[in-house]
Structure 1
Amino acid sequence: MRLLFRHWRRIAVTLIPLIFALLHAGGVLRLDVLQRFDDILYDARLRATMPKTLDERIVIVDIDEKSLAEVGRWPWGRNKLADLVEELLDRQQAAMLGFDVVFAEADDSSGLKRLRQLAQNEMKDQPAFADKLGQIQDSLDYDAVFAKSIAKRPVVLGYYFTSDRDGRVNGLLPAPVMDREAMKGRLIKVTSWSGYGANIDAVAKAAPMAGFFNSITEGDGVVRSIPLVAEYKGQYYESLSLAMFRMLIGLPGVEPGFPQERFLTRNYQSLESILLKQGNKTLAIPVDDRVATLVPFRGPGGASGGSFRYISASDVLAKQVAPGQLKDKIILLGTTAPGLLDLRVTPVGETFPGVETHANVISGFLDGKVFVKPDYAVGYDVLILILSGLTLAFALPLLSALKAVATSVGMVAFLVGLNFWLYSAYGLVLPLATALVMALTAFALNMSYGYFVESRSKRELAHLFGTYVPPELVDEMVKDPDSYSMKASAKELTVMFCDMRGFTKMSETMEPTQLQALLNNVFSRLTDLIRNNRGTIDKYMGDCVMAFWGAPVETPEHAGLAVKTSIEMAHAIRQLNEEHRAQGLPEIGIGIGLNTGSMCVGDMGSHIRRSYTVIGDSVNLGSRLEGLSKIYGVDTVVSDSTRKLATAFAWQELDRVRVKGKDQAVAIFCPLAPLGLLDARTGAELREWALGLKAYRDQAWDACDVHLLNLQRMNAQKYLYRLYAERVASMRLLPFDPEWDGATNFETK
């Protein structure tokens, strides 16, 4: 929760695409570009999954350019169509025949109408003329000839609906498959028209089974679906493909398929499916909110598309197709001739034959392969947007750039995979574009905010602290830049003062460039040790370096790290002096003072120059302790507050002191080594020193002298023992002081 709160601005920015996506999905703010993108994705998926194989069950008899050239311009005389019907159903023994054309006007091409006028007028005085007309008029009534050829045959006629403003009608509609009462008062958003163009009475009555061949043209001018049922004046009529499929399976009844009554579907105002019922058998065909189905295109379309066999109508009329070749085939009569205007723009081709759309739908029905965009697609879209959007919004700000890219790619792959699986396994066409655009935009905004806003603050932070703080600490800080600032605050820290001994003497005997090189070499080594132990360089003051631990990055073990650094620095100076002796350069010494306590840390100074530093009484004490190192002959002097926190080291108590400006005595110590590295000889020396120091504070001078003598025998090089021996010699001259606390007072800095 702390991380999320820290990144709330970045999370809010990442949520912006989700908000717009939800507004679009919910219909509040429709973005046409997203709908167009969804159509493009659907079209691409459709083309990628088309079987592109031949369905041998369905054959298209094509009124093509060849047929128009050989037979004549359309419409043909219905006597020729009667010959075509008889050839297909009798000689070829096709299973059924569907017409993707309409016979909306009477056929007068035989001249029968004019002959009858002559018999009644100019030739009424010629009985032979009237007798001959009576003998041949039946064969010249092409509508009657055609009607006779299709009567009581497995034939489905075609017609069309219109949205003519005047509601014009023509011809005879077939019987509806459902009426208004079947919808149970629900406001179904079915495709509705105000007019129609149907077949003339004689033809319609001969073949009462008929279906409309209208398709649905989307906003981009592409045909992707056809309505299975359409409404006209409260009655519901079936499409050509549904009518042909029903005839194939025995003419089952048509009923609306409502979802089961549940809480979420109680007010559902659309159909879930079209039910084909026959006896105890029910077949459900899923439909969308327009009671339409998507066309399951098999291939590119046309005679060369490879999905269906195309036969020229002129070849059928000329009996150039061997008898029985079309036995049990489903025949669709339509046209691919451009002049007859039945070519459509589809996802798989810009000049796709309208007749083949019906062939594809029938093929899909036969295979049980029906694709539909369900009415709950909006709910699915909203749910997916919320889940993916919130996941990205709360995950991306917490991840590195590489992991954020991987997460976003994974999310996009999940969205695409889930969508494709639902499409291929269940025939569900669900929205994808909005979720994809939302995910990609959320990633882009998140990365942009991270680079232009957070990275800027990180760069500023690195710039501010880079000269003080080790690079590894800067790397930690930039992960959470809001938690660090230059603002002053009080913290418990450990401060170090390190002074080089003999610098003044060297400056008198060395060239400035030599002195500079020497000083830089020493400071570089000491600085590296401080930075390697997570210390912060405060400043360089001539031959002195000041550092502290515990800020700006909180470091609980700050005292132990400071002590470890002081030991390593003393060892580094010893190694450096060995190099100097070999090179003939002067040796140097160091004095280190360490103190732990509450200090004020932050950016301090004037408007001209500022620095990140520490101030306070604890800092002053650290400086005083550094000065005491020379008096006690040790490299490092550490306060008792630091010693108590650095428990991993062996210590030698040096004294109790009152430094200038402090009334309270402070115990001071010198670190010897980590506990595990302390040898037995040094351990014995420390025990002897503890006894001698106790005797000194008890003013037992004789006992103290004995212990100091033993200590000088154990370690003759240690100045501390000689210092105390001199003190004891001076203290003997003074009377016993019961008020003395054993502390040494220092009045100078």
Structure 2
Amino acid sequence: MGSLSRHWPRIAVTLIPLVFALLHATGALHLGVLQRLDDIIYDARLRATMPRTLDERIVIVDIDEKSLDEIGHWPWGRNRVAEMVDELFDRQQASVLGFDVVFAEADESSGLKRLRQLAQAELKDQPGFVERLNQMQASLDYDALLAKSLQKRPVVLGYYFTGETQAKGVLPAPVMRRSELQGRPIRFIGWSGYGANIEQLATQAPMAGFFNPVVDSDGVLRAIPLLSEYKGEYYEALSLAMYRLLVGLPEVAPGFPREKFFGSRSYGGLESVLLRHPKGTVAIPVDDKVSSLVPFRGAGGVSGGSYRYVSAADVIGRRLPPGSLKDKIILVGTTAQGLLDLRATPVGEAYPGVEAHANVISGLLDGKVLFRPDYAVGYDAVVLLLAGLTLAFTLPLLSATRAVLASAAVIAALVSLNVYLYSAEGLVLPLAAALVMCITAFALNMSYGYFVESRSKRELANLFGTYVPPELVDEMVKDPEAYSMKAANKELTVMFCDMRGFTKMSERMEPTQLQELLNAVFNRLTDIISSNRGTIDKYMGDCVMAFWGAPVDIPHHAPLAVKAAIEMAGAVRQINEEHRAKGIPEIGIGIGLNTGTMCVGDMGSENRRAYTVIGDAVNLGSRLEGLSKAYGVEIVASETTRKQAPDFAWQELDRVRVKGKEQAVAIYRPLAPAAGLERPLLDELKAWGAFLRAYRAQDWEQSDVLMLNLQRMNAKKYLYELYSERVASMRLLPFDPEWDGATNFETK
């Protein structure tokens, strides 16, 4: 106890990450990075444990590129779908058929509707026409043909829910009603509209399931909701509907949590979805959104090896031997890229959506369902407390080597327990908070007491203090040996910012007034650069040059530079409001941003040196600043900068060839953070992208139409006036197949 009391500061420091981890685990402080890390761990664990074997029970009839080439673009005539259904049941003897597609509109491709109109109007007096039409009517009513094929067969149709208020087609009967929930506020995924199958088909195949997945915040499909809510009633997923059809249509009921460890007693959600059958009850575990994690078997797709894929063209063409699909569970879906049913999943970036449903059906049949239990929060809290307190009261007493071994042992125990519960029980439990807490606690404990000598700080501050903001100097003094002024090639982001209007102001103001005004503007812009971790290179008259990524390595240097540029443009607008109030002329601003490899270091003569950047990427940044005036915008950035700052909304300005470069480069204007972008601006950007495609294709008629629409959206935008004039002049020229859409600028 005496030793622990002497080390209480180190214990307190070690407990800091435990506190933050507990706040995150209990939901009091959401740390997105830990959630993302948990997703990464789950994805890696899932890939490592996939069986990668063929499930011979399930076959996917694929509307693939071959089928589209042979039969035509989707949707096909329902007569072809009827042929496929008849082939699957009559000749192939399939067990159950599910459609991962929806038939939401009547099929008029046969022309029957028009023939009926002719029979009632222009050709009603034509001898034999009406009689012949009556004879052909049955073969031309494609919806009736498909309805007849579906009749009294084990078929589950697909449909989708939507957040928009719409109601197309006929929903199946709900499988559960709100009264069964006993007043509990279950967090079902709710919808306000749907797109279902036409009545003619829905009445003949009354079973149907929705095929909406759950897409996480990172855009990855990891789960499928087994039940969803619409207007107080609850409907089943396609995979659950097919499973129920396979096992005798058991009744669906809510499974409420029982009292267990880790605080599930207070849990208000569902523990499981119950399937009640005279022979017994099956409980399917679900998470707090009544979703089931997809138990992926393999990489997915035709070559993934998890399921047999059969081309729909081969089924319709009767090329399969009779009975080759006997007793198989058939899912009709698509892998064709143009039909937009390829999803990002933990096991592949272009994973067929239909195979996700196949995985859930396979898992239900095997009784292997992965799920996040209701007591996951309590489990995480208990594990954090045990591990955190163990490290806090043990590490201060150990040498560095033993502290490393102790920390490694705690981490190994956490990982082993987590992996065991996953592999043996199918429990998906959090791990990221515990891992990060252990690593951070170890790092804080080991670094405590080792303060940087003031001499090291003074030396580094003297070396870099005039170039970089104080907070970066504070970072650098933690490891002074890692920094020097020696030249090196690094990927950085450079900024050139030019104030416009000072030349005209200099003719009307006293030199001291102009100096005071210029210094005031530079102070505000420099503060923004420094607050965004930028390094000031130099001031050149009314221009400031800065760069990001040196001397301190900043992986996200491009986003910081873009953020600084947007804030600087906003600061100038605020300055102009102050100028208008004081009767002082307004100023303008032009900013150029480029990201690329540059040479950075201490350069100059023996008498005068500076920590600066040079190189072709720097020159391009300067050229881009000069282009801002030509396009009537405050900020112009290169494509490399745009790619490294994906969290911002961008508007492409042009493709240009600047002086000194033969290769055309795309230039962009950053607008604002992409999150929360308003709908009118999103629509404007979409219309602008369409215009640029028409412009570069030299489709001047289409360009004019799109430009009129853009000018209605934003009539005062100089960029649209510029392109409108370009279109007007270029349409007088003949079509040039060699033109790449780039604009040449010969001046700096």
For residues 290 and 127 of structure 2, the distance between their equivalents in structure 1, rounded to whole angstroms, comes to 60
Shift of 1:450: 5.3
Identify the residue that residue 193 of structure 2 maps to in structure 1: 195
Shift of 1:136: 1.2
- The alignment status of 1:62 with 2:62, answered yes or no, reads yes
Identify the residue that residue 351 of structure 2 maps to in structure 1: 352
Shift of 1:403: 1.2
Shift of 1:61: 0.4
Shift of 1:52: 0.6
Q: How does 1:273-288 map to 2 (within 5 A)?
A: 273-288=272-287
Q: How does 1:551-630 map to 2 (within 5 A)?
A: none
Identify the residue that residue 649 of structure 1 maps to in structure 2: none
Q: Deviations over 1:329-349 (max 9, x none)?
A: 000000000000000000000
Q: How does 1:633-648 map to 2 (within 5 A)?
A: none
User: TM-score with structure 2 length normalisation?
Assistant: 0.60
Identify the residue that residue 437 of structure 1 maps to in structure 2: 436
Identify the residue that residue 141 of structure 1 maps to in structure 2: 141
Q: Deviations over 1:360-404 (max 9, x none)?
A: 000111111100112221111111111110111011111111111
Shift of 1:256: 0.3
Q: How does 1:252-651 map to 2 (within 5 A)?
A: 252-260=250-258, 265=264, 267-449=266-448, 451-452=450-451
Identify the residue that residue 212 of structure 1 maps to in structure 2: 210
For residues 90 and 390 of structure 2, the distance between their equivalents in structure 1, rounded to whole angstroms, comes to 65
Identify the residue that residue 3 of structure 1 maps to in structure 2: 3
Q: 1:162 to 1:189 in 2, by over 3 A?
A: same
**2:249 maps to amino acid:** L
For residues 381 and 116 of structure 2, the distance between their equivalents in structure 1, rounded to whole angstroms, comes to 70
Q: Deviations over 1:485-507 (max 9, x none)?
A: xxxxxxxxxxxxxxxxxxxxxxx
Shift of 1:452: 4.6
Q: Deviations over 1:38-88 (max 9, x none)?
A: 100100000000011111110000000000000111000000000000101
Q: Deviations over 1:525-569 (max 9, x none)?
A: xxxxxxxxxxxxxxxxxxxxxxxxxxxxxxxxxxxxxxxxxxxxx
Identify the residue that residue 128 of structure 2 maps to in structure 1: 128
Identify the residue that residue 52 of structure 1 maps to in structure 2: 52
For residues 281 and 29 of structure 1, the distance between their equivalents in structure 2, rounded to whole angstroms, comes to 43
Q: How does 1:36-47 map to 2 (within 5 A)?
A: 36-47=36-47
Shift of 1:266: 5.0
For residues 172 and 259 of structure 2, the distance between their equivalents in structure 1, rounded to whole angstroms, comes to 33
Which deviates the most, 264-273 or 58-67?
264-273
For residues 352 and 267 of structure 2, the distance between their equivalents in structure 1, rounded to whole angstroms, comes to 36
Shift of 1:420: 0.6
For residues 375 and 30 of structure 1, the distance between their equivalents in structure 2, rounded to whole angstroms, comes to 18
For residues 127 and 88 of structure 2, the distance between their equivalents in structure 1, rounded to whole angstroms, comes to 40
Shift of 1:273: 0.2
Secondary structure, counterpart of 1:206 in structure 2 = coil
**1:418 maps to amino acid:** L
Shift of 1:262: 7.5
- The alignment status of 1:223 with 2:221, answered yes or no, reads yes
Q: 1:409 to 1:450 in 2, by over 3 A?
A: farther
For residues 294 and 222 of structure 1, the distance between their equivalents in structure 2, rounded to whole angstroms, comes to 12
Q: Deviations over 1:586-608 (max 9, x none)?
A: xxxxxxxxxxxxxxxxxxxxxxx
- The alignment status of 1:109 with 2:90, answered yes or no, reads no
Shift of 1:280: 4.2
Q: How does 1:137-176 map to 2 (within 5 A)?
A: 137-164=137-164, 167-176=165-174
Secondary structure, counterpart of 2:222 in structure 1 = strand
Secondary structure, counterpart of 1:160 in structure 2 = strand
- 2:22 touches 2:384 (CA, 8 Å); kept in 1? yes
For residues 47 and 266 of structure 1, the distance between their equivalents in structure 2, rounded to whole angstroms, comes to 33
Q: 1:298 to 1:132 in 2, by over 3 A?
A: same
Identify the residue that residue 237 of structure 1 maps to in structure 2: 235
Q: Deviations over 1:621-667 (max 9, x none)?
A: xxxxxxxxxxxxxxxxxxxxxxxxxxxxxxxxxxxxxxxxxxxxxxx
Secondary structure, counterpart of 1:352 in structure 2 = strand
For residues 294 and 453 of structure 1, the distance between their equivalents in structure 2, rounded to whole angstroms, comes to 49
For residues 391 and 418 of structure 2, the distance between their equivalents in structure 1, rounded to whole angstroms, comes to 18
Secondary structure, counterpart of 1:388 in structure 2 = helix
Q: 1:370 to 1:390 in 2, by over 3 A?
A: same
For residues 202 and 103 of structure 1, the distance between their equivalents in structure 2, rounded to whole angstroms, comes to 10
Secondary structure, counterpart of 1:159 in structure 2 = strand
Q: Deviations over 1:166-221 (max 9, x none)?
A: x1111000000000001010000111111100000001111000000000110000
Secondary structure, counterpart of 2:393 in structure 1 = helix
**2:177 maps to amino acid:** D
For residues 4 and 148 of structure 2, the distance between their equivalents in structure 1, rounded to whole angstroms, comes to 80
Secondary structure, counterpart of 2:128 in structure 1 = helix
**1:187 maps to amino acid:** P
Identify the residue that residue 619 of structure 1 maps to in structure 2: none
Shift of 1:268: 2.5
**1:292 maps to amino acid:** S
Q: Please, which runs of 5 or more residues in structure 2 have no aligned partner?
A: 454-748
**1:357 maps to amino acid:** A
Shift of 1:126: 2.2
Shift of 1:267: 4.0
- 2:264 touches 2:374 (CA, 8 Å); kept in 1? no
Shift of 1:323: 0.6
Which deviates the most, 200-209 or 125-134?
125-134
Shift of 1:260: 2.5
Cα RMSD, aligned residues only:
1.4
Identify the residue that residue 18 of structure 1 maps to in structure 2: 18
Secondary structure, counterpart of 1:143 in structure 2 = helix
For residues 208 and 127 of structure 1, the distance between their equivalents in structure 2, rounded to whole angstroms, comes to 42
**1:210 maps to amino acid:** A
- 2:238 touches 2:357 (CA, 8 Å); kept in 1? yes
Q: 1:390 to 1:427 in 2, by over 3 A?
A: same
Shift of 1:28: 1.5
Secondary structure, counterpart of 1:192 in structure 2 = strand
For residues 262 and 440 of structure 1, the distance between their equivalents in structure 2, rounded to whole angstroms, comes to 31
For residues 255 and 127 of structure 1, the distance between their equivalents in structure 2, rounded to whole angstroms, comes to 61
Q: Please, which runs of 5 or more residues in structure 1 have no aligned partner?
A: 455-749
Shift of 1:261: 5.7
Secondary structure, counterpart of 2:249 in structure 1 = coil
Q: Which structure is larger by alpha-carbon Rg, 1 or 2?
A: 1
- 2:373 touches 2:427 (CA, 8 Å); kept in 1? yes
Q: Deviations over 1:305-336 (max 9, x none)?
A: 00000011001111111111100000000000
